[in-house]
Structure 1
Amino acid sequence: MSLFTLAFLLTIVYTSGLYAYSSTSTTTTTTIPAPTITATNNAAPQLPTTVINTLLHYASKSNDTFKMSYADIKPISDALRKCSTPCNFLIFGLTHETLLWKALNNNGRTVYIDENRYYAAYMEEKHPEIDAYDSKYATSAGRCRTCFSPNASWGSMTCRTTCTRSNGT
C-alpha cells in the first residue's frame, strides 16, 4: 500500500465520522433574532428576483433530455410574478420542472394533474409538499384536429375528466 493510499484512507475515515476522536467537544449555540415581517396577510414574502433567476437558470441548464428551455420557462415565471398572491396554478403533467413551479408559486397553491397515477403517487410520496392528482381524459391527442376544426359541433362534444388523488381518495 502506498503512502498516498494510506493518507487517503485515513482522511476518509477521519472526516466521515467513523473514527470518533473527541476528547472534549463543545457546542456553541448562537441565537439570531429573525426579522419581523409585517404584511396584511399571513403569506410568506415573495422570492427575490435573484433567487427566481437562479432557479430558472439551473432548471433550463439541466442535462435532462425532457426539459423546458429558458425561453419556455421565463414567460411562465413572469406570469406567476404578476399574479396577485395567493395564486392558483394548475399544471398538466409532472415533469422535470415540477418542483420549480412549486417554488416559483411561493405563496399560492400549485396543483398537478398527470395521467399516470403511479407516477403521481410516487412524486407525492417523494415530495409531500406537492399536490398531485391523476386524471383520465375522454379525448386523445389524435382527436386534436377534429376537436379544433371550424366545422366542429361543440354541442355534441363532451370534455370529461375524472380526477382523483394519487393515493386513491
Structure 2
Amino acid sequence: MRPRTQYPVNTKQIVIGIIVVFFLLFVFRSAFSSSNDRVSSSISESFKNIQKPTKCSPTCTKIPPSLAQALVHYSTSTITPQQTSKEVSVTKKILDKKSPCNFLVFGLGHDSLMWSTLNFNGLTVFLEEDEAWIEQIKKRFPMLESYHVTYDSKVNQADILMEAGKGSECTSIGETRHSMCQLALKGLPSEVYETTWDLIMVDAPTGYYDEAPGRMSAIYTAGMMARNREEGETDVFVHDVNRVVEDKFSKAFLCEGYMKKQEGRLRHFRIPSHRDDPNKPFCPLRF
C-alpha cells in the first residue's frame, strides 16, 4: 500500500492563527464586559428611579392626641351616647362639609368628646347646667371647652313662654343678650355672643319633667343667633323632638320652613341670616 503524502508544516501560518484566536477572544471578552456594564447601569438607574419614602418630622405620621384619646375612649366605653348612630350621622355630614368651624353645643355629655373630635381644629364649646358634672368631665377630658349656665325657666312654663314668644320684642332681629324677649338667654359667656356659630346643637338642659329646666330658651336663642349673624347660614339641630317642648318650640322658633331633615329624635334646620333683609319674615312663607 502506498503511504499518504506528508505536507511540510508552515511556521508562519501557525503564528498567524494563534494571533487571530487571541484577537477573537479579546473582542468577545470586551463585548461581554460592555454588555454587563450596560445591564448593571440599567439596574442601577431603575433602583434610583424607585420613589423613596418622604422624610418627615417625628410627629407627622402620628394621629393627634385628642383623636387617639377619643378612639380609646369610645372603643372601651360601655356607656351608650345620647344619640343613635343614624341621628349622629345627620350632624356628622354637616361637619364633614364645614369643619373646622364654630360649633356650639347646649349640653355636656358622653358624646361631647366625639363632637369635639369631629370638629378637629375648630372651636367647639359646650354649655352645661350641672357644675358638678362639668368638673367630672374636665378631669377626664381637660381639652373640652365648657361653661356653666343657669336656666330660669322650667318645663311647666312652656305654654306661657310660647305666648310671650309671639310678641314683637321676640321676633325683632338683634343680639340676644340685649333682647327684651322673655325667652332670650342673657347670662351666657361673652364668647358665646361674640362668636358667629356655624352649627348649634340643642341637647340640653334636662327638660324631661315638669320642674326641670326646659329647652324653650335654648331653642329660641339658637334661632336668634342664626338670624342675627352678618351673613350666611347656621345649621341648628334639636334633639329629643319626640317630647312636647322640643317639638313645638323647634317648629315655632326655628321654623318648619327651615327644616331640612328629621332622623329619629333629631331635627336639622338651616337658618339664613336676616340682617341683610329687615323685612324678611321670621319664618319663611309656606305655600
**Normalising by structure 2, what TM-score?**
0.34
Unaligned runs of 5+ in 2: 1-54, 170-179, 190-287
The percentage of aligned residue pairs carrying the same residue is 27
Q: Which AA in structure 1 matches 2:121?
A: N
The answer to whether the aligner puts 1:157 opposite 2:181 as a matched pair is yes
Q: Which AA in structure 1 matches 2:115?
A: W
Q: Which AA in structure 2 matches 1:105?
A: N
Q: Which AA in structure 1 matches 2:56?
A: P
| Residue 72 (structure 1) aligns with | 87
Paired positions, count: 116
| Residue 124 (structure 1) aligns with | 138
Give 1:135 deviation, angstroms. Answer: 0.1
CA distance in 1, matches of 2:165, 2:188: 30
Matches within 5 A, 1:36-115: 63-64=78-79, 67-83=82-98, 85-115=99-129
Output one character per residue of 1:108-145: Cα deviation in whole Å (capped at 9) or x when no partner: 01000000012112212321110010000232333333
Give 1:82 deviation, angstroms. Answer: 1.2
Q: Where is the helix percentage greater, Structure 1 or Structure 2? A: 2
The answer to whether the aligner puts 1:33 opposite 2:47 as a matched pair is no
CA distance in 2, matches of 1:67, 1:122: 18
Give 1:98 deviation, angstroms. Answer: 0.8
Alignment CA distance shift 1:111-1:151 (3 Å)? closer
Alignment CA distance shift 1:136-1:128 (3 Å)? same
CA distance in 1, matches of 2:85, 2:167: 38
Q: Which AA in structure 1 matches 2:124?
A: T
Q: Which has the larger radius of gyration?
A: 2
**Normalising by structure 1, what TM-score?**
0.54
| Residue 149 (structure 2) aligns with | 135
